[in-house]
Structure formats: C-alpha cells, structure tokens
Amino acid sequence: MSCNHLSVILFTLFLLALIIITAEAAIQPNPNCPKTCGNQTIPFPFGTSPDCYLDEAFFITCNHTNHDVPKPFLKGNTEVFNISLLGNLVISSPLAHDCYNATGFQTNVSKSILQFEKFSVSETRNKITVVGCDTYAVVRSFTAGNITTGCPAWCNGLENVKSGSCFGVGCCQMDIPRGTREFELGSSSLMNHTRSQSFNPCGFAFVSQEGYYNFSSSDLLGFQREIRNLSFPVLIDWSVANLSCDEARGNESSYACRSEFSECRDSSNGYHCDCRPGFQGNPYLVGGCIDINECETSNPCSGTCTNLPGNVSCECPEGYEGDGRKEGAGCRRIPKDRGPIFLYIALGVILGILLFLAVGTWTYFIIRKRKLLRMREKFFHQNGGILLQQKLWKEHGSFERDITFTEEDLKKSTNNFDDKTIIGQGASGTVYKGQLPDNKLIAIKRSKVSDQGQIEQFINEVIILSQINHKNVVKLLGCCLETQVPLLVYEFIPSGTLYNHIHDQKLSLELTWDLRLKIAAETADAIAYLHSATSVPIVHRDIKTVNILLDENYNAKVSDFGASRFIPTDQAQVTTLVQGTMGYLDPEYFHTSQLTTKSDVYSFGVVLAELITGEKALSFNRTETERNLAMYFVSLVEENKLFRILQDQLVLDGNSQQLKELASLAKRCLSVKSEERPTMKDVSVELQSLRSTMYNNGDANKYSNSSKLSVGERSGTSISFNSINYSLNFSDIESMGRQTQ
C-alpha cells in the first residue's frame, strides 16, 4: 500500500473521530458550568450560561440584582423554585386582577400569561382559582385546542361566603386544559363590582399547584392589599423533545439519554431520561448514573453481600443454604443427614401443588362467571340502576328492560373505546362513534368518573329524555349500567354541531338563509315542546350552538340534557345552583338563581344572533363593549345599525326585511327582564310564519339546498338495561304500584 493511500485512510479516520467527539460535546455541558444559582441546584439539561444547557428552552437566568441571594429565572422573568430530573419544575405565576371604583369605572387590571415552547402546564397537579363576588376567570389556551373557557364566582355579601369552600360562592376552581403550553388568564366582571364595592372591589384569578391555596373569605379584601407582591407556585411538565423514545433513539447524535446506565421513558409531551434501577444521578450526562452500593445503604442480605452494577449478590456462609436474602428464604443450616424424610416431604409438596392446580382449574370457570355477575350487579347499584328503575316507574308506571346493549357490544362497536372513535369531549364525559353489527351508527356517551354528582346528572338525562318524543331532539336508544362508569347510547348525528357550521369558514358558506331559518324554527319547535307539550315542563338550561346537532339533511337535533330540570306545573320557577355557559346564560337567572322557561328563551335569543351574524357568543378578540354578543347585538338593533354586524352572505341574498324581523325577534328574546320575553311557543310560531312568508313569496327557488331537507318523524325513547337478576325486579315494582293505587 502506498504512503498516499495510508495518509487518506488515517485522515478519514481522524475526521470520523472528530465528528463523533463534536456530536457528543453538542449535547454535553462544559465541565466548568455553574451547578447552582443561589440556593437552587441547576441540573443539566438546564444551565445558566452558554455551553451549559441543552437548548434555549432550558436556559436559566441567574439574577443577582435586587436580591440578597441570586435567584434562577426561566425565560428571563419567571422565577424558578425547584427543578426536578423526574420531568417537572416549579415556577412562580403572578396574580391576575381587575379593580373598579364605586362608579363602576375600571381602575386597575392585569393578566397572567404563561408561554413555553417545550414545556406544558400540568393539567393534573394545578388548578385555576377565581376569587371575587362579581368575577369570572377567562382562560384562553392557544395550544390546548385553541379554546376559551371560564369559571364564575358570585356572592351577595360576606355572610354568604364560606371559607374553605370553592364551588362558586366567593371562590371558583377549574381544571387546566390538557396540553397547555401557552395561555392567557384574566378576570372580568359582569356588573363592575358595583354591588360589592364595600367588601370586594376587585376580582382575582391565578394558577397554582393543587392543594397550595385554601380559600378564606378575608382574601376578598386581603388580595387587594397585596396585588403587586402576590404570586403562586405552578408545576410545569418538561421533556427533552416532542418525540417518543423510539423516535429519539433513531437519531443517535441528538439522543439525550447519554449515561451508559440510563433508560428512556415516554411522557405525554415528549420523552424523559431516568437512571436504571440500582443507579442514581443525572442520566443526561455521560457517566452521570452512578451505581448504588446497596450493601452499604440498605444491605438486603442476611449472608455475605457483594455489590454488583445495579444489583447485589447474596451468599450464605459455608454449612448453610438458601438465597441469603432478608426478605427471601434467608440462610438455614444444612442437616448432616437428610435421609428419606426429606424425600417424603419433597414428594408431598409436589403432590400438594399438583392437587391445588387441578382443583383450581376445575373451579376457575365457575368462580369467574359468578364473580363477573357480582361485579356487574355491583356496578348496576353503584351507577344508580335501582334509583333509575324507581324513577322511571314513578314517571311512566312501567319501564322496559330489553337486552339491547351489553358492555361487549359497545366495546366491539368502538374497537374497545379506541381514542380514534372519539367525536366529542366535555366536563361530564366523552362521546364515541360506534357501529353495530347491522351497520347502524350510534353515539356512546361515557361518563368520566363514577361519582355521585355524575350519577345524578346521568339519571337526570335519562329521565328527561324518557319524557321527550320529538323529531328535533336527539333520540336516546338505550343505556348500559353494568360497567364501571354508566354508558348512554344515542342515535348518531353525522354532520356535527351548529357551532362548527357557523364558525367554520367553509361550512358557513353552505348555511344559506333558508337553511338557517329552518334550523332556527326546528330548534324553537323542540324547545317549545319541552316547555309546553310534556307532562311536566322541562327547562334545558344549556341551549347553545354546540348543543344543536345537524344531520345529513340539516335537520336540527337538540342534545345534552344533563343540566335540564323539571318545573312543576304549579310553579312558575325553581331555585337552583346557577349552571350554564357564559355568553348564553340568562342574566336574571345568573343573579337570582330563579330558573324559568324564559331562561331558555334568552339562550335561544343568543343562538339567533349567532346564526345571522356569524359571531361567537363571547369573544375576547372583540373590544370590551362588543365582547358579549347579546348586549352588542341588542344595542345595534336599538341604534338601527343592524347591518353593521350581519354576515355578508345573508345580506347579499336579499333578505333584508326577513333579517330585520328575525333580529327584532332575537332582541325580544334577549330582554333583560324575563317577563318582557316571548314564550318559546310564540317564538316558534313567529319563525314558522317567517318561513311560510318566504316560500309564499317564491324565495325558496333561490336555494339549491332546499331539496335536501326532510321532515322526519317523531319516535319514542326506549330505556334498556342488561339482563341480571336483581333483588328488585320489574314485577315486584309494578305490583307495588298497583297496591299503592
């Protein structure tokens, strides 16, 4: 081989070695990097100076100014209290507030904003808290599905506020949206604190670790005195990169688990590195995981202990036998002459094991079947099955119990409740799309947690839907109570929600004027039916465009009756805990807690305004005066400036007169005083009249989608349970009913 060839080979090997060393150094800190900032330890991949952190997301500023002891800050302005290599850190989050003077003028306001690239706010270990007597938190999450949500707190005086309770009176708490990496938290007021100036001129909202804050009525004033200095600890989940372990291992140069004795662990937002069992230290550093000498720290051996990498070896001394462990067989002296007795004992043990296995196999299937029946019966009682039977018998005098749905049927229809079949999620549960063996599509509502509040809401929805027989109400097909959480089965509505059709730019173009009028009329007819055609009037209590579904022919279907309430015929109103959605909530009901059928009329008025304007019921992208669609819409109608907010495509269709009439109807529905609002029956009649006028004038020929509309038919609701023999059966209850009559 020539000298030139040898030189080329040596040079190539040198370059390869240099590349490997450079790649290794790229994700390893400088040996001289500071390990602390003040009293806080700063472990890699975090660092306080160049060449000391993995990337910019892990850069920690060690601030020496204005502090006796230096303090670490993330992104330059967020104080860090603790960094854990288990994948979380604790930071400081400021208090958001809004304050008003006695005239209702806003004097002071601030927001709390958290923004991260690779980190997320832990949704399981933090809470959003609202403190105030005329306050609601407004949360905008840009990474958790780009959602806006909130939580209201209200009280009429300090005497009504209970310290330690945070369920809406003076204090309200809610969960963090899942996957939140950047969100904006603010507080706002419905009445500018004019009714609570003496004891609560400000409203407050903050994020904190769950269990850190315990509400006290004194905070309604105490927070105001410490607004500038108040901050709260928030737990943040961090990961090396938004990759799975398998994906990360595919790129050796950027793989962060550098220790020889490290292992990768998947998390919800990426992957983490841990030291293997028996090792401790920093898995992100080369040589960072160090063997634990268990012989010195815990010594699990009763005999001689020998430390091994990640483990120990235990040996019994000469003349003894066993595994040598304290929690095992230990060490016992070896008999000098075991003789035949040992053989008999060993044979007896083997025969005993074989007999045990034979008996166990023989009884396994019988015990398994009985256990399954007992478990199903337990779940049936736990999920309120007996209570539901009794209520249905009380309402109807009888009830059906067909074997319509079993847990196995519903698992098969959803591929064992695969996440890919999820079509909706809410506070009360998850909705899955399923397909039965006969190819019929169904929607399955599965409660999140089997607690008493969820059970009562579940039973309430079944009872309500068992009273309803209307073509524009989503039909309940059955239920299954013999599972860990109750399941409701509905007809599947394929085209999604009215909300999506209004606010999706492409879908919105399909909603012509006659389709919008048709949807409004059908929804009004369904609500009027709830108020006046059922045996006991029903108030839906959560009418909004998200709860109005559309089938393939754009027929409206009112859904989600979990919050609905019966109103006895001898009562005009009932007093309840305020429940509903901000933006659609009847202000009179919000302030008095007096629920009437007119509360649904107000919510429907917001739906009408949303239909013809294309605007959201509550939007923080609009100015403060225009933020609430209901108030803004009414003001424009009163000022004769309606066409400033109407959706362009509706105005271009040449329906100005009908738009004015519909806007006038919506304005009456949105009257602040309930007695000034029309009944739902009157609203339905007016909408049907508007449709008739449109068709009589020949306007229907302008819309090609009209041919797709179908009337549909009303059908009854059948409530179904699985077949298990319970102590309370149908014949017993019906017999009890005849005796009481």
The predicted model gives 592-603 an average pLDDT of 92
pLDDT band at 566 (very low <50, low <70, confident <90, very high): confident
Each residue of 94-108: b (16+ CB within 10 Å) or e? bbbbbbbeeeeeeee
From CA 254, how far away is CA 252, in angstroms rounded?
6
Contact (CB, 8 A) for 608 and 637 = no
Mean pLDDT (the chain) is 81
Q: What is the pLDDT of residue 388?
A: 65
Q: Taking 60 as the threshold, does the pLDDT of residue 739 lie above it? A: no
Q: What are the beta bridge partners of residue 185?
A: 112, 139
Verify cis geometry, omega within 30 degrees of 0, for the bond prior to 283: no
Q: What percent of the chain has pLDDT over 90?
A: 34
Q: What is the pLDDT of residue 715?
A: 37
Q: Give the β-pairing of 441-447 and 429-435.
A: antiparallel
From CA 631, how far away is CA 618, in angstroms rounded?
10
Q: Taking 90 as the threshold, does the pLDDT of residue 176 lie above it? A: no
From CA 210, how far away is CA 176, in angstroms rounded?
11
The predicted model gives 128-145 an average pLDDT of 83
Contact (CB, 8 A) for 303 and 331 = yes
Q: What percent of the chain has pLDDT over 70?
A: 82
Q: Taking 70 as the threshold, does the pLDDT of residue 392 lie above it? A: no
pLDDT band at 668 (very low <50, low <70, confident <90, very high): very high
The CA distances from residue 705 to 499, 518, 689, 708, 709, in Å, are 19, 12, 20, 6, 7
DSSP assignment of 181-192 equals SEEEEEEE-SST
Q: What is the pLDDT of residue 145?
A: 60
Contact (CB, 8 A) for 531 and 600 = yes
Q: What is the DSSP letter of 628?
A: B
Q: What is the pLDDT of residue 117?
A: 77
Q: Which of 20-24, 333-337, 480-484, 720-724 has the lowest mean pLDDT?
A: 720-724
Question: Which has the closest alpha carbon to 350: 362, 342, 340, 339?
Answer: 342
Question: Which has the closest alpha carbon to 91: 70, 75, 109, 108?
Answer: 75
Q: What is the pLDDT of residue 157?
A: 82
Angle at 75 between CA 72 and CA 77, to 5 degrees: 65
Q: Taking 50 as the threshold, does the pLDDT of residue 704 lie above it? A: no
Q: What is the pLDDT of residue 288?
A: 92
The CA distances from residue 298 to 4, 239, 249, 614, in Å, are 61, 32, 34, 68
Q: Which residues are catalytic?
A: 542
Q: What is the pLDDT of residue 717?
A: 41
200-218 pLDDT tens trace: 889 999 999 999 999 998 8
The predicted model gives 472-482 an average pLDDT of 85
Q: What is the pLDDT of residue 24?
A: 45
Angle at 122 between CA 273 and CA 546, to 5 degrees: 130
407-441 pLDDT tens trace: 888 889 899 889 899 988 766 678 899 998 888 89
Greater model confidence, 591 or 318: 591
Q: Which of 26-35, 251-260, 601-610 has the lowest mean pLDDT?
A: 26-35
Greater model confidence, 581 or 177: 581
Question: What residue ranges in 21-103 does DSSP mark as E strands?
Answer: 36-37, 40-41, 60-63, 71-74, 78-84, 88-94, 96-100
The predicted model gives 188-199 an average pLDDT of 84
348-365 pLDDT tens trace: 889 889 988 888 888 888
pLDDT band at 385 (very low <50, low <70, confident <90, very high): low
Question: pTM of the prediction?
Answer: 0.47
Q: Can you read off the two tokens belonging to residue 540? A: 């839906």
Q: What is the pLDDT of residue 2?
A: 53
Greater model confidence, 324 or 462: 324
φ/ψ of 458, rounded to 5, equals: -65, -50
Greater model confidence, 561 or 726: 561
Q: Which amino acid is at 298?
A: S
Q: What is the DSSP letter of 288?
A: -
Q: What is the pLDDT of residue 710?
A: 33
